[in-house]
């Protein structure tokens, strides 16, 4: 099942994508796609609903982030060996964890704004994991029982803020619009083998990231298990699992986003995003 949210900002409704690629309105059955829904009985019931009985949504509405009310947006750094190498580092012996501000979350086709003084804003396509029920001190073997589904994430990063300023990475990771999610929350049964999915990003039509989740060092079950040893994961929380090589920081010379750029990115069986870039003006 591919769950989604559609409508203008502040007026989003829950929906799903049917087998013909049409948007169906779920709002008669579901208040919204959030932690309360994902952690409750209605989520399971929705997966067996007769989609043909749901109202068709006409036109081409805006697609919003597929999960709202996200409590924690947890990211994993340096989780692809070849990406770590391009940044001049190595994969650490334990996952690198950091938080991304939930205020960075935006829709998969919404515009990305560069902060007024940004000089080194960068792209990162990542596999997102959406938690479906509370995970606290869970084992690796049980971890997938706590996953509601997967989504595409663009973990945008301002490298000067992240790496050249004092403190932690989060200053370069949490800027407004730096966390496009979606377009869908795809349940595990539709994703297939999450450890072998093509993952890519194009900048202005040029393929710059072209990887596969099979080269991810710390896999999804381990990450859910590992993170749950330090904090409980709640329904609707999101884990962004790291990016393959091809980011601007790793190019020679480095290449960063500028106003007018267009990013197109996607993950096999999960979906595609596209964002244009503008510079925020006060």
For the chain, list the domains and their CATH numbers: 2-53 (no CATH), 73-279 (3.90.850.10)
Start-to-end Cα distance in the chain: 41
Q: What is the predicted pLDDT for the residue at 281?
A: 86
* pLDDT tens-place string over residues 161-173: 998 888 888 899 9
pLDDT of residue 85: 80
What was the pLDDT predicted at 166? 82
Residue 131 three-state SS:
strand
pLDDT, residue 91, reads 78
Look up tokens 């049964």; give the residue.
Answer: 189
Burial of 72 (0-12, 13-18, 19+ CB in 10 A): middle
- For residue 169, the model assigns a pLDDT of 82
**Residue spans of the chain under pLDDT 70:** none
In the prediction, which pLDDT does 7 show? 98
**Residue 194 in 3-state DSSP?**
coil
| CA distance linking residue 145 with residue 237, whole number of Å | 15
């Amino acid at each position: 099942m591919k769950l989604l949210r559609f409508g203008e900002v502040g007026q989003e409704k829950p929906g799903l994508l049917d087998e013909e690629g049409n948007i169906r309105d779920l709002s008669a059955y579901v208040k919204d796609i959030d932690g309360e829904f994902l952690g409750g009985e209605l989520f399971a019931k929705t997966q067996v609903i007769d989609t043909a009985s749901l109202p068709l949504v006409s036109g081409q509405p805006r697609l919003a982030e597929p999960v709202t009310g996200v409590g924690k947006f947890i990211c994993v750094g340096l989780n692809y060996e070849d990406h770590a190498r391009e940044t001049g580092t190595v994969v650490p012996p334990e996952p690198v964890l950091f938080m991304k501000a939930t205020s960075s979350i935006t829709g998969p086709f919404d515009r990305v704004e560069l902060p007024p003084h940004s000089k080194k804003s960068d792209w990162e396509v990542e596999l997102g994991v959406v938690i479906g029920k509370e995970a606290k001190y869970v084992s690796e073997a049980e971890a997938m029982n706590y996953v509601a589904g997967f989504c595409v994430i663009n973990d945008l990063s301002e490298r000067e803020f992240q790496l050249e300023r004092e403190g932690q990475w989060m200053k370069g990771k949490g800027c407004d619009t730096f966390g496009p999610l979606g377009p869908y929350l795809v349940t595990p049964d539709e994703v297939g083998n999450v450890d072998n999915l093509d993952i890519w990003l194009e900048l202005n039509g040029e393929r710059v990231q072209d990887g596969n989740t099979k080269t991810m060092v710390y896999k999804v079950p381990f990450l859910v298990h590992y993170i749950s040893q330090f904090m409980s994961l709640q329904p609707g929380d999101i884990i962004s699992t790291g990016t393959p090589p091809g980011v601007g920081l790793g190019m020679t010379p480095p290449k960063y986003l500028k106003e007018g750029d267009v990013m197109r990115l996607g993950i096999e069986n999960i979906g595609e995003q596209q964002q244009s870039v503008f510079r925020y003006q006060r």
